[in-house]
Homo-oligomer: A and B are copies of this chain.
Amino acid sequence: MTSKVYDLNEQTGKDMAQARATTSIKVGVVRDYLYNSAEEWRARSSIVQVLENDPVFDKSQRDFMSRTERYTRGMALTNRIYELQEQNNWSAQDTSIAIATLDEQLPIHLHNVAFQPVFNLQGAPSLVEKYGALIASHGIFGCYLQTELGHGTNVGRLETTATYIPQTQEFEINSPTITSSKWWIGALGKTATHGVVQAKLILGGKDLGPHLFFVQLRSLKDHTPLPGIVIGDIGPKSGAGFGPTDNGFARFDHVRIPKEQMLSKFAQVTDDGRYQQPPHAKLSYGGMLYIRANMVTGGGWLMAKAATVAIRYGTVRRQGEIGPDGLEKQIISYPSTYYRLLPILSHSYVFIQLGRQLTKAFDTMAACLAKGDTSLLAEMHATTSGLKVLVSSTGVQDIEVARRSMGGHGYSAFAGLGRMYNDYLPSVTYEGDNFVLDQQVVRAALKTLHSLFSSPKPDPSTLTPSSFYLRLLIPPVSMPVFSPSIEEWTHPTTAIVLLEWRAALVVSDLAKNIKYPDASVYQRVSKAVSEAFVAKQVGGMIDDLKTKLPGEREQTAVRNIFILYLLTTVETGLVDLLSFNVVRSTSGGDVTRTLRVAIRRLCEEILPEAIGLTDAFGFTDWELDSALGVRDGKVYEALWNRAQQEPLNKTVVPEAYGGSIRPMLLRGQKQAGVTTDGKAKL
């Protein structure tokens, strides 16, 4: 065999250029759709430019840094961001964008997203007046101390106490046991000067349950912990995730704070130690819902990054069968590859849009809440709980699927997806463990089901969007039996109706078997409920394309992406659909085959637009920070260049040589009776 020599490195660049030339959609048009408008895209883009041209934000050494170096760098980034904010007169929104763009899990997030909102929402007006400006300008740095070593979500069992001392009008914060140590608190370990501490309020020996207290932790003079407080970092995280964040612990030894520092907007203690009940305890939920709503958008953009990197690599990596051009085929052209990657692309498009809708809905709800109207709270709670589970579990899975699709090189830190994965991994646990939230979603569904059928004439108009699928159970019930053809699968309504039927059936089945449900039922039902809701929303997104996305080709491409979302979602729900006989094979396996063939055909239609649809996210190389996702496609060059920077390569002979390698070799040579004593070339 003689074979022409190809310059593989040059070929990667050609392949990427070729793929870009093949894309028929206008990338800018889709980009503006994703960013909501050309203006929002430009605003973001100009901020990214400032950052990537500033040496402080250089990422080239990041993969080699120790935990302490990551933390130190993270604080330098943060300081620089606020310096730039001042210099460039950035709005708060601009600064948020800048921080989100950094692709780092920073302590400042905890100040901005947990500490500040809770303080402002729950602090008494006088306290907010005293500290609000200082908190807004980061003149003090805050954290939110809830979780303890021995307790997480069940705040009723927290052990930290805040005992009121009427004589001095102070609270005494105390950690009675090792397990009462506050633990996992982001920004506490080394950074925060202040914190909001959740502690059981003790009045006259009586435990009134968890309340919030504003506590100074470190001196503003020299940053040392204040007397009675033992603070530290809790150590590294799985896979070096969250490296720059100083998740910390704190123990309080009878630390006194003035009475005014209880966050007392909704619950108060009188000077003589009587408790005044909160009028609307629920009003305090707003903050958590905001974080969850934001997670949907954030997760969508993360999936977008994973899809961009893996689809770009799949476009330039050639392996396996030889194509008509004498080259091996691009790996993206293999069904087993595009079947894994294009659904990730579809998830990102869906979650970005969902996040936008959710943020709008949150704003509406927050406006109502501010007027004391809690009517939208339950629906917002149900929606954000379900979507938080869906976005985080989908996102974690997608990042790994994308990484794995890149084969061997995907395991290099330079691929960038490992870092992304390990940073995103805790999202399945924080802001409500997914397994706990699943139960909440299901309980809400069962409650709605019960209340719907508690009336002799169930009224579908009482159903909110998150429970709209339950209308299908109102008599006369006409459960369909589907055996869709390949063509029929591509109509969005097929999938939407099926996903709604699935949710309705599994919820009513659980209600029937509630005395002894099976062990995984909450996960399955929660997923079915959330996916029915999302499917309906995706139907709306498809309808909206005509008005929101100019250009027929662009509409077709994005419509295909949305339909791919629907069909692959149905595929993951097949067990339910088949077991309830909603879809049924007319002869051996044909209904699953028509669905899967429809998915494959759809993928083949999307494939030529894949590079365009990922370019539309508008990520720069600095943002992606991935040798395998470089825009020009020259992945091998990028890997080679990065490897040269590896610290082990700074010396020709490693430090371990004298201490371990040489003694081992000499011992082995002696054992083998070779007498070179290491001096000669064998």
Task: Give Cα A82 to B661, complex, Å.
Answer: 11
> Known: A76-B656, A206-B2, A404-B429. Is A648-B189 also a contact (CB below 8 A)?
yes
Task: Give Cα A506 to B646, complex, Å.
Answer: 48
Nearest chain B residue, comparing its CB with the CB of A435: B336
Residues of B within 8 A of A2 (CB): 205-207
Distance (Å) between the CB of A89 and the closest chain B CB? 13
Residues of B within 8 A of A68 (CB): 647-648, 654-655
> Known: A235-B643, A336-B523, A672-B134. Is A407-B152 also a contact (CB below 8 A)?
yes
Q: Which chain A residues numbered 659 to 681 have a C-beta less than 8 Å away from chain B?
A: 659-674, 676, 678-681
A63 touches B236 (CB 8 A): yes
Can you list 13 A-B contacts with CB-CB less than 8 angstroms, sorted by A residue number?
Answer: A5-B176, A75-B656, A86-B671, A136-B672, A137-B668, A137-B672, A139-B672, A141-B664, A232-B644, A235-B645, A236-B413, A239-B241, A239-B422
Task: Give Cα A508 to B644, complex, Å.
Answer: 51
Identical chains bound together, number: 2
B636 touches A150 (CB 8 A): yes
Residues of B within 8 A of A285 (CB): none
Task: Give Cα A652 to B191, complex, Å.
Answer: 11
A33-50 interface mask toward B, CB cutoff 8 Å, 1 = contact, 0 = none?
A: 000000000000000000
Residues of B within 8 A of A153 (CB): 319-320
Residues of B within 8 A of A673 (CB): 133
Q: Does A487 contact B (CB under 8 A)?
A: no
Of the listed stretches A267-275, A547-555, A578-586, A614-622, chain B binds A578-586
Residues of B within 8 A of A678 (CB): 220-221
A223 touches B661 (CB 8 A): yes
Distance (Å) between the CB of A6 and the closest chain B CB? 9
From B151, B221, B234, B407, contact of A319 by CB (8 A): B151
Task: Give Cα A220 to B236, complex, Å.
Answer: 39
B413 touches A430 (CB 8 A): no
B336 touches A520 (CB 8 A): yes
4 smallest CB-CB distances across A and B, nearest first, come from A238-B418, A239-B239, A139-B668, A518-B596
Task: Give Cα A425 to B400, complex, Å.
Answer: 10
Of the listed stretches A20-28, A178-186, A533-541, chain B binds A178-186
Residues of B within 8 A of A680 (CB): 220-221
A134 touches B669 (CB 8 A): yes
Of the listed stretches A303-311, A488-496, A597-605, chain B binds A597-605
Distance (Å) between the CB of A140 and the closest chain B CB? 7
Q: Which chain A residues numbered 324 to 350 have a C-beta less than 8 Å away from chain B?
A: 328, 335-339
Distance (Å) between the CB of A82 and the closest chain B CB? 6
Nearest chain B residue, comparing its CB with the CB of A249: B643
Q: Which chain A residues numbered 86 to 140 have a C-beta less than 8 Å away from chain B?
A: 86, 131, 133-134, 136-140
A207-225 interface mask toward B, CB cutoff 8 Å, 1 = contact, 0 = none?
A: 1110000001001111111
> Known: A1-B209, A223-B662. Is A413-B82 also a contact (CB below 8 A)?
no
Residues of B within 8 A of A408 (CB): 147, 152, 184, 426, 429-430, 433
Residues of B within 8 A of A657 (CB): 223
A3-21 interface mask toward B, CB cutoff 8 Å, 1 = contact, 0 = none?
A: 1010111000000000000
B665 touches A139 (CB 8 A): yes
Q: Does A589 contact B (CB under 8 A)?
A: yes
Q: Does A593 contact B (CB under 8 A)?
A: yes
Residues of B within 8 A of A236 (CB): 63-64, 412-413, 646
Residues of B within 8 A of A670 (CB): 139
B579 touches A140 (CB 8 A): no
